[in-house]
Chains A and B, each alone.
Chain A
């Protein structure tokens, strides 16, 4: 079955450490996205990529980095520069353009300890 896999489901990080969240899709979608969701808040776009080897900053890119070396994969690194990284992170993908909507992964809950 096609879909998006995010791993791990839960992640704990010590302050000052970088951590990488995985996102893999087998839907042959061109575009991939990373969102952050805080309790009681909507979705805020971190980064997105509409083609391999290219990506753009979203609304809250500071403290995060991404890569898009393969069509199937769009990992997100939360760096130590991110001041408040504890949140729920959602990855999504879509065919070129958003007219068909997004398919979402099941999310990664990151907690800084």
Chain B
């Protein structure tokens, strides 16, 4: 069965520190997509990145970077030089492909990691 594990429940750092949020997934699909969402205090989940299972290149977007390693089924998210505005809950998610036995075409979410960046 598909599963996403974010083992870090809460992380607290001081501004300008680098921080990595871990995400480990399980799937029997050969083609799948992985996502990260940010949920600031306002509540709405904001899309950060989508990565397909055939693209293992790391991605960098400003202070954000993502490390996808199929060999360890991990899709970790690093924030460099963290800022107070990065304080939020971050969710990792895995797409469940429709058409495969038992799949319903949903996103499977991890439990989320609460990041607190202190000034």
Contacts and interface: CB of A to CB of B under 8 A. Distances in A.
State which size class the interface on A falls in: 20 to 34
Interface string B91-119: 10101111000001111011110100000
A35 to B, nearest CB: 8
B44 A48 contact: no
B109 A33 contact: no
A99 B109 contact: no
Interface string B27-47: 000000101010000111111
B105 A31 contact: yes
B106 A45 contact: yes
Interface stretch (A14-22, A65-73, A101-109): A101-109
A107 B107 contact: no
Contact of A48 (B46, B93, B106): B106
Contacts of B44: 90, 104-107
A45 to B, nearest CB: 7
Contact of B105 (A98, A104, A107, A109): A98
A50 B43 contact: no
Contacts of B33: 98-101
A56 B103 CA distance: 13
Interface string B51-76: 01000000000000000000000000
Interface string A26-65: 0000010100000011110100101000001000000000
Interface of B: 9, 33, 35, 37, 42-47, 50, 52, 91, 93, 95-98, 104-107, 109-112, 114
Interface of A: 31, 33, 40-43, 45, 48, 50, 56, 88, 90, 92, 94, 96-107, 109
